[in-house]
Amino acid sequence: MSADTIAIPGIAKPASRIALGTWAIGGSMWGGADDANASKTIDEALELGINMIDTAPVYGFGHSEEVIGKALEGRRGRVILATKVGLNWQDGKVFRDSRPARIEEEVEKSLSRLRTDYIDLYQVHWPDTRTPFEETARALENLVKSGKVKALGLSNFSPAQMDEFRKFAPVSAVQPPYNLFEREIERDVLPYAEKNNLVVLAYGPLCRGLLSGRMTADRKFEGDDLRKTDPKFQQPRFGQYLQAVEDLKAIANKYGKSMLALAIRWVLDRGPTIALWGARKPEQIAGVDDAFGWKLDAEDMKAIDAILAKDIKDPVGPEFMAPPLRA
């Protein structure tokens, strides 16, 4: 990998601008776990120069963290570990819960599963508006003071919510969905991050595989695969998005790059971003190097916008993924 890195306030080492996203490694909503391949994927990511891994307790209800902790034994110091807090679940149903008691419970479980005594970046997964942000922020700030956490982040928060949270604790990063097809953060979250020196961890940069360039109209999604309910993967929208991918390949070809590399490069060219490249098999992160050492010019950025406007008649965001508030 190129030496393309970014500093995250509060974290000693710079982070690679591609991080390994591990939602799929947890298995839940991705067709089940495959621990042997997951461990090989982590090995491959480190070999390629990726030094940041992002996870969450809810990914497989702890399983993703367990796999990562086991895979990193003996080399924890090489990695910036980012995980999350503030979700709870009962009978497999997930809901938001950022009460201080839940935070105290979750951090100990995450530390144990990850086999570490500190978390580099601890992020509130979704805003819990039924718990005052002051209570959540102060509980997390206490973890920073104790050394269990190095820096704090907020995921899926609006600028107004971030402003409220930041009254009580410093924030180093924000994690929103962001990719060529899901660009809502350009209106508010991205400029807010740039103004306030926050690093943006863009999740879903390949839009659940849609931007990999490998998906076809006859692709079937089985079991608990979340794409069975993702509006982008239902016709007629699915066909519109696939057509856009085909047209975007012409721009990728101009640079001698794959569609996947174009999708990642686009995210990296949009601001102070880290692309969370999700993978569960080592071959799924092949091509990381292809995203570095070049940039999209202004003319091609405009051409990309024109393709999206032409092909996608009924665009939709990632709203379907939002978990409910506590009862």
Token couple for 39:
């461990």
From the list 59, 122, 192, 203, the catalytic residue is 59
pLDDT of residue 26: 72
The reply to whether 178 falls in a domain is yes
pLDDT band with cut points at 50, 70 and 90 for residue 112: very high
pLDDT at 3 over 80: no
Range of the domain at 32: 6-209+262-293
pLDDT of residue 105: 97
CATH number for 41: 3.20.20.100
Instruction: Compute the average pLDDT of residues 114-124.
Output: 98
pLDDT at 30 over 60: no
How many angstroms separate the Cα of 246 from the Cα of each of 47, 249, 250, 324? 31, 5, 8, 35
The reply to whether 34 falls in a domain is yes
**Calpha distance 203→21 (Å, rounded):** 8
pLDDT of residue 163: 98
pLDDT at 66 over 80: yes
Mean pLDDT of the chain: 94
pLDDT at 224 over 90: no
Tokens 């709870």 locate to 88
Instruction: Compute the average pLDDT of residues 228-233.
Output: 91
pLDDT at 27 over 70: no
Burial class (CB in 10 A: 0-12, 13-18, 19+), 243: middle
Where is pLDDT greater, at 32 or 288?
Answer: 288
The reply to whether 133 falls in a domain is yes
pLDDT of residue 287: 85
pLDDT band with cut points at 50, 70 and 90 for residue 64: very high
> Model confidence over 89-102: pLDDT tens digits?
998 899 999 999 99
pLDDT of residue 1: 52
pLDDT of residue 23: 86
The reply to whether 255 falls in a domain is no
The reply to whether 327 falls in a domain is no
DSSP-assigned states of every residue in 118-155: -EEEEEESS--TTS-HHHHHHHHHHHHHHTSEEEEEEE
pLDDT band with cut points at 50, 70 and 90 for residue 222: confident
Cβ contact 98:124 at 8 Å? yes
| 59 in catalytic set | yes
* pTM greater than 0.75: yes
pLDDT at 269 over 90: yes
Burial class (CB in 10 A: 0-12, 13-18, 19+), 326: middle
The reply to whether 200 falls in a domain is yes
Asked if residue 236 has a cis previous peptide bond (ω within 30° of 0), the answer is yes
**Calpha distance 89→234 (Å, rounded):** 28
Domain count, the chain: 1
Compute how many other C-beta atoms are within 10 angstroms of the C-beta atom of residue 157. 24
pLDDT at 300 over 80: yes
> Model confidence over 161-211: pLDDT tens digits?
999 999 999 999 999 999 999 999 999 999 999 999 999 999 999 999 999
pLDDT at 2 over 60: no
The reply to whether 141 falls in a domain is yes
**Calpha distance 17→266 (Å, rounded):** 12
How many angstroms separate the Cα of 117 from the Cα of each of 57, 194, 203, 313? 16, 31, 26, 49
The reply to whether 321 falls in a domain is no
